[in-house]
Amino acid sequence: MTVASEPMDKPRRRIDVLFLIGVSIVSLTVFLALFGPVLAPYDPTVATGSYAVPPPPLADWPRLFWGSITGSLDQPPHWFGTDASGLDVFSRVIAAPRIDLTIALAANGLSLVFGVLLGLAAGYYKHWWTEVMMRASDVLQSFPVFISAMILVALAGRSMTNIVIALALLYTPIYIRLTRSEVLSQKVRGYVEAARAIGNSEAVIAFRHVLPNSLAPALIQASVTIGFAILLTAGLSFVGAGVRPPAPEWGLMISTGANQVILGEWWPSVFPGIAISVTVFGFAVLGNALERRYDGA
Partner 1 sequence: MGILRKCALAGTAIVVPALAGPAAVNAAELLFLAEDVPAGLNYDGPAAAIPTSQTGMVNLMEPLFGYATAAPNEDGVIVPDFSTFEGRLVDTWSYDEATLTWTLNLRQGVMGCGGATFNADDVIYTFERAKSVSGAAPIGWFLSNVASIDGFTPDVFGDEAARALGDEVQRIDDYTVTIRQSEPNALFLPVLTIFGLHIFDAELMQANATEDDPWSHDYTNNVGVPSFGPYCLESWAKDDEIVFTANPDYYRGAPAIERVVMKRVPQSSNRVVILRTGQAQLVQKLTPREFDSLREASGITVAGVSGNENLFVHMNFDVPPFNDPLVREAVARAMPYDQIIQAGYFGQAERWAGVVPSSYPGFVAPADHQYDTDTDAAAALLEEAGYPGGAGLEAFEDAFQLTYVAEKETTLGPIVTAIQSSLRQAGFPVTLNPIPQTQYGDRQLVQRDLPFAINDQEKPIGVDAGYAVQLFFVSPEAGGLNNMVNYRNPDVDGLWAEARVEPDQAARDALLAEIQTTLMDDIAWLPVVEYRTQWAYSDRLQGMQWHPDNSIRFFDLSYAE
Partner 2 sequence: MLLRYVTKRLLIGLVQLVVLTVAVFFLIRLLPADPISRFVGLNPSEEAYAQAERSLGLDRPVHVQLLHYLGLAPSQGTGLLQGDLGDSWVSGSPIAQEIGTFLPVTLELITISFFVAFLIAVPVGMLSATRPGGAADRGVFVYSLFAGSQPEFWWGLLFVYLFFFVLGVAPAPLGLLSPMTSEPAVITGFITIDSLLAGRLDVFLEALHHLMLPVATLVFILSGPIIKMVRQNMVRALQSDFVLYARCAGLPARRIAFYALRAAMAPSMTLIGILYGFMLGGAVLVESVFSLGGLGQYAIRSILAFDYPAIQGVVLVITAISLSVYLLLDILHAMIDPRVAY
Q: Which residues make up the interface to partner 2 (CB under 8 A)?
A: 2, 5-8, 10-11, 14, 18, 135-136, 138-139, 142-148, 150-151, 154-155, 157, 227-228, 231, 234-235, 238-241, 251, 254, 258, 261-264, 266, 269-270, 273, 276-277, 280-281, 283-285, 288
State the number of binding residues for partner 1 (CB under 8 A). Answer: 22
Residues 55 and 267 sit within 8 Å (Cβ to Cβ): yes
Minimum distance from CB of 157 to partner 1 (Å)? 8
Partner interacting with residue 53 (select from partner 2, partner 1, none; CB below 5-8 Å by kind): none
- CB closer to partner 2 out of 150 and 192: 150
Q: Comparing C-alpha atoms, which of 153, 42, 26 is closest to residue 93?
A: 42
Residues 175 and 218 sit within 8 Å (Cβ to Cβ): yes
Partner interacting with residue 283 (select from partner 1, partner 2, none; CB below 5-8 Å by kind): partner 2
Residues 258 and 240 sit within 8 Å (Cβ to Cβ): no
- CB closer to partner 2 out of 108 and 288: 288
Residues 229 and 146 sit within 8 Å (Cβ to Cβ): no
- CB closer to partner 1 out of 48 and 137: 48
Minimum distance from CB of 246 to partner 1 (Å)? 5
* Residue 269 is a binding residue for partner 1 (CB under 8 A): no
DSSP letter for each residue of 143-199? S-HHHHHHHHHHHH-S-HHHHHHHHHHHHHHHHHHHHHHHHHHHTTSHHHHHHHHHT
Binding residue for partner 1 (CB under 8 A) from 9, 21, 45, 284? 45
Residues 102 and 31 sit within 8 Å (Cβ to Cβ): no
Nearest 5 degrees, angle CA 233-CA 234-CA 235? 90
Minimum distance from CB of 266 to partner 2 (Å)? 5
CA 270/CA 267 separation, integer angstroms: 5
Binding site for partner 1 (CB under 8 A): 45-47, 49, 51-52, 84-87, 154, 157-158, 240, 244-246, 256, 259-260, 262-263
